[in-house]
Structure 1
Amino acid sequence: MKMYKDYRRLENIDELRIYDINEKELYNPTPLEFHVDEVPYPQLISNIPMDVNILIPHNDGNDFIIKSAGNFILNQGNLQLDDVRGRLLSKVSPVLYEIFHESLHEVYKSQETKVIHVFYYGTEKLSKITIVKILYEMNRIFVFADHINTDKGTSDEFEKIQYAEDKVNMMEYFTQTGSYRRIDGKYTWTQGIYNIINRPREDYDDYHNIVFDLAIPEDKELIERILKIMDTDTTHHEDLIRIKTEDGTLKYLEINLYSNFDENGNLISRYGLFNDVTQYSKKSMTKPVDFLLQGFKNSKKLALLIEPLNPKHFEFSEGFYYFINKNPKDYVHSRDVINNIVEDETKKQIIRLIEGELDRIDETFTYNVNGDENNQKICELYIERFEFSKKNHSLGFLSDITDEMNKQRELRESNEHKVMLIKEVHHRVKNNLQILNSFLNLEKRVYSKEPNVIIDHMQTRLTSLALLHEKTYNTQDLKNINLNEFIEDQDSQIRNIVSMDNSVEFESIVDEDLNLTIEVITPLLLIIDELNMNALKHAFPDETIKNKKITKIITKIDENTLQMTFKDNGVGIDNPKKISKNLGCTIIKSLTKQLGGEIELVEYKNGTEYKLTFPIKMVHTIHG
Structure 2
Amino acid sequence: MNIEKKYFPIEKVEEVKIYDLNKEVIFYNSPKVTDVEPLEFESILNQISSDINQFIPVDNGEDLIITRFGKTLLQRLNINPKDILGRRFSECLPFYHNLFKEHVKKVVNKKSKIEKLRLLYFEENTLSLIVTTIVMEKNGHIYIINNYEAESITKTSASNNQNEKLYLIEYMSQTGSYYKTNNKYTWTNGIYNILGRHPKSSDKYYNIIFDLALKEDKEKIKKAMNENLPRKMEIKEKIRIKTENRKIKTLECNLYPKYNNNEYVGIYGFFKDISSELDSSILNPIDYILNGFTHSQKLALLLDPFNPVTYSFTDGFYNIIGVKKQEYTHNYNIYKHIGEKKVVEKLKKMESGEVNKFDETFTFYKDKTTKKPITCELILENFYVNNELHTIGFLIDITQDIEKREHIKIIEKQKIIIKEVHHRIKNNLQILNSFINLEKREYSKEPELIIEHMQSRLNSLSILHAQTCESLDFENLNVNEAITQQEKTLNNLLSSHNDINFITYIDSELWMPISLITPILLIINELTTNSVKHAFNDNTKNKQIYKHMKLIDGETCEFVFKDNGIGLKDTKMQNLGSVIIKSLIKQINGTLELTVNNGTQFKIKFPINQEYVGYK
Q: State the TM-score bracket (shorter-chain normalisation).
A: 0.3 to 0.5
TM-score by length of 2: 0.32
Structure ID, larger Rg:
2
TM-score by length of 1: 0.32
